[in-house]
Chain A
Amino acid sequence: MSISKEEIMHIAELSDLKISDNEIEKYKKDISEILKLANEVNNVNTDGMDETIGANQKCNAFRKDEVKNSNKREILMQNAPSKEDGMFKIPKMSL
């Protein structure tokens, strides 16, 4: 199964990634090959099988509604590439 250039561009857009013209062929080839591998799932008979959701059978992992927070804003925001007035700064959004 091979993937078209248009499909690559579409999933790149969904992923917020940019693929330059000289990369596209390589991605096309690699992803087509990985999809060929992925398609082997279709050789498995899964009639009557449920989907595995999550890796274990646990359920109801709940937390009590109690406030617990000792986080300092300075520390939480120490990695921000741009900040102002205690907020993360980004370019002006067009509304």
Chain B
Amino acid sequence: MLRDDYEMIVGLEVHCELSTKTKLFCSCLNEFGGEPNTHCCPVCMAMPGALPVINEKAIEYAVKAGLATNCSIEKNSKNDRKNYFYPDNPRSYQISQFDKPLCYEGFVNIDTEDGEKTIRIERIHIEDDAGKLNHDDFGRGSFVDLNRAGVPLIEVVSKPDMRSPEEAEKYIRKLKSIFEYIEISDCKMQEGSLRADVNVSVRKKGDTKLGTRTEMKNMSSFRSIVRAIEYEAERQVEELEKGNTIKQETLRWDDISGRTFSMRSKENADDYRYFPEPDLVSIKLSDEYIENVRNSLPELPESRRKRYLGEYGLTEKAANFVTSSKYYSNLFEDSIKICNNPKSVGNMIMSDIARIVNEREEEPEDIKFTGKELGELISLIDNGTISSAIAKKVLEELFIEVKMPSTIIKEKGWIQISDEGAIKEIVMRILENNPQSIADFKAGKDRALGFLVGQAMKETKGKANPKMLNEMFLEELKK
């Protein structure tokens, strides 16, 4: 934890790969993986004489991103060259946007312990991704694969509005969720389609001037982002307390040692010499175009949240949680079509499903089953076929293999015992074996009832209908 007298200032540049069919400037396949250098052509390999032509879908997706994050859209935009030499940058310039980004001045809201907080977005611009460098373990060389070179990216630049690693994580999750909702990116951090450059500075509380910031580039997991911000803020405070100053520099976060390292970069080589890209013409977007894109946006999380609170009566907490991810939200909506029990579905997503996802170190998008299965599962509880204890076990099974819950419980023999005769038999047997509990109950110890029910559940491996058990035990005990 950061010392009380300091605060950290965090700003993020989130890079998100757009899920267009083709690359930004050529007609090559935009797809993760593939044999090296097979999603390539003279344009993305920067052959002499080859020229870029913009993919109209990429522009549309970027405008969608802007509209969904409350940005203004630049009607007179253009592309600029950013010049630097690196083996994954085949043209030796990235085609990005400098002074006329497609989208500017937006915001998103995140939930914090102190309520809702607004994180301002400075700009969203469009640019192309670099290729991939592979390094072999034997030190023989490095290898350049240009399949990713030219994949369209949007870069979302926030204002330095975050004050903790948790806020940074929430902000990225919020962007991720929005971009998933509007279907412009698969936002898979493990595949690098969502990455962030993290800017951190610290200052004494009460100071209004920003401290010198350091930057950590290309972070691609929530865990490392949180750890890196924590570490870096503390390191800066330590430096300042020692009387040192902070050097503005780019750092590398090392996940294994859990610390940042100074990147030895070529001195003076950070002058990108931006200038307007002469191989492309300007991008002029009409009001009509922008309105059409706006009208094509699906229902956004904010609106779904309100609907869940009103129409479905979810708690604030459940509505927030379920809408935090498109995958949860879609799972929710698909499930209630089948079981018509929004509260139970919401609770199951928020508690059991979220817990399992966490344990498996996965993300909501990794969930393989759908509303069809979850809806049936809730129905099975509601009609008394299974207990909620069994439902949890079925859920675990669903994460392993997608099958209909009714099939799973049949195969596993988990159908709830609701037959009055059978329950009665069990109740009588348990009472016979536990005379002490009967005495306790009669002496006014209510806990004894819970014990007896527990014994019955244990005996039936959770299959007995708990409600019936309860009633029957009470009936017998009161005799």
Contacts and interface: CB of A to CB of B under 8 A. Distances in A.
Contacts of B266: 13
Given A54-B281, A60-B284, A90 B87 contact: yes
B268 interface: yes
B210 interface: no
Interface stretch (A27-35, A40-48, A65-73): A65-73
A93 interface: yes
Contact of A63 (B53, B87, B141, B143): B53
B451 interface: no
Contacts of B283: 59-60
A48 B60 CA distance: 33
B141 A84 contact: yes
Given A54-B276, A92-B135, A62 B27 contact: no
A15 B37 CA distance: 27
A77 interface: yes
Contact of A89 (B20, B143, B282): B143
B42 A71 contact: yes
Interface string B34-67: 0111111110010100000111111100000000
Given A73-B37, A87-B145, A63 B282 contact: no
Contacts of A10: 268
A86 to B, nearest CB: 4
A53 B40 contact: no
Interface residues of A, number: 36
Contacts of A58: 281-282
A20 interface: no
Main secondary structure of the interface of A (DSSP, over half): loop
B435 interface: no
Contacts of B142: 89-93
A58 B281 CA distance: 6
B143 A54 contact: no
Given A59-B282, A71-B40, A95 B135 contact: yes
B273 A68 contact: no
A85 interface: yes
Interface in B266-282: 266-269, 271, 273, 276, 278, 280-282
B139 interface: yes
A61 B269 CA distance: 33
A93 B282 contact: no
B317 interface: no
Nearest to A77: B37
A69 B143 contact: no
A53 B45 CA distance: 26
Given A65-B56, A67-B29, A92 B141 contact: yes
Interface string B120-160: 00000000000001110001111111100000000000000
B85 interface: yes
A14 B39 contact: no
17 contacts: A13-B266, A13-B268, A14-B273, A53-B278, A54-B278, A58-B281, A61-B53, A63-B56, A67-B29, A69-B39, A73-B35, A82-B141, A84-B143, A86-B37, A91-B142, A93-B87, A95-B135
Interface of A: 10, 13-14, 16, 53-56, 58-69, 71, 73, 76-77, 82, 84-93, 95
The 5 A-B pairs at the shortest CB distance, nearest first, are namely A65-B57, A87-B143, A62-B56, A68-B27, A88-B144
Given A60-B284, A73-B40, A90-B143, 11 more contacts: A53-B282, A55-B278, A59-B283, A60-B282, A62-B59, A65-B57, A67-B27, A69-B26, A69-B27, A86-B35, A93-B87
